[in-house]
Structure 1
Amino acid sequence: MIFGIGIDIVATSRFQRFLDDDSAIIERLFTQAERDRCAGRKDSASCLAARFAAKEAFMKALGTGLRDGISWHDVEVVNDTLGKPGLSLSGRAGEMLREQALNIPLLSISHDGGHSVAMVVLEVL
């Protein structure tokens, strides 16, 4: 049974500005592993925008937004050996997943036309 669905779209240009300004917001929003994965890539702004969209989509699917003790670093976008994106949850985000008896989130990410979009589906175990 589906518990929640979240979707978010982000303009890549927003994250390009953060990168150009060497903004501290990048460190606040992303784990070191996420920053490392996107660093040095030709499409690093798109990479970061997609990860931000995934975090937002997860919080929408959970129905909490950024409150109840969840931090940006509690929701981390990871990739399997084939590059498929997924979410690794820690801290309060992981606790809420267990409290609600939810399965591992399903994540889809796409990029086009200067935008990144992510969709998350949460299912009850």
Structure 2
Amino acid sequence: MTGAGIAGIGTDLLRVNRIERIYARHGERFVQRVLGADEQLVHARRTARDPRRGILYLATRFAAKEAFSKAIGLGIHMPMTWSRVQILNRRGGAPEVHLSGPLKDWYDARFGQAHVSMTDESDMVAAFVVIEGRPPAAASDAQPLSKH
């Protein structure tokens, strides 16, 4: 961490069968509502290889977005929307948060780095998010006080 401290923590625990039921009822509409464009591509690839892997991917991302929304204190209220948060894996496999649109601007004005951890079992998934506070402005960035 950068020394700015922790600004928020969020966690979510989810039964996979909840996501299976929603997916069975709404299919791709649910995927498009919850996942961003890059996540949708990963979901499609995983589903094509093994439908169960697709469901687990959808469930872990759903849980991570819930945890993120709790950590920033908004819940699922504007500017927070499901598709403006993407949880994508770095080359080494570690997940990282990618924001877009008005949520990115809102977030960048308030917070520093976001850290996310996810895990899945056959029947449950969990996600944990830690949000860093904004780093203090460097002394050279400080504006002098105006004199009246």
- Consecutive unaligned residues of structure 2, counting only runs of 5 or more, are 136-148
- 1:20 matches 2:27: no
Give 1:91 deviation, angstroms.
Answer: 1.5
Q: Does the 8 Å contact 2:63/2:125 carry over to 1?
A: yes
User: Residue 37 of structure 2: which of 18, 21, 32 is its match?
Assistant: 32
Residues 1-125 of structure 1: matches in 2 within 5 Å?
A: 1-21=5-25, 22-39=27-44, 40-42=48-50, 43-100=53-110, 102-124=111-133, 125=135
1:29-51 per-position Cα deviation (integer Å, ceiling 9, x unaligned): 11122122122242111111000
Q: Does the 8 Å contact 1:103/1:122 carry over to 2?
A: yes
CA distance in 1, matches of 2:102, 2:20: 29
Q: Does the 8 Å contact 1:61/1:120 carry over to 2?
A: yes
SS of 1:105 mapped into structure 2: strand
Amino acid at match of 1:29: V
1:17-69 per-position Cα deviation (integer Å, ceiling 9, x unaligned): 34434251221111122122122242111111000111111110000111132
Q: TM-score, normalising length from structure 2?
A: 0.77
CA distance in 2, matches of 1:111, 1:50: 7
Q: Does the 8 Å contact 1:70/1:91 carry over to 2?
A: no
SS of 2:113 mapped into structure 1: coil
Structure of higher CA gyration radius: 2
For this pair of structures, how many residues does the alignment match?
Answer: 124
Aligned-pair identity in percent equals 31
Give 1:72 deviation, angstroms.
Answer: 1.1
List structure 1 runs of 4+ shifted beyond 4 angstroms: none
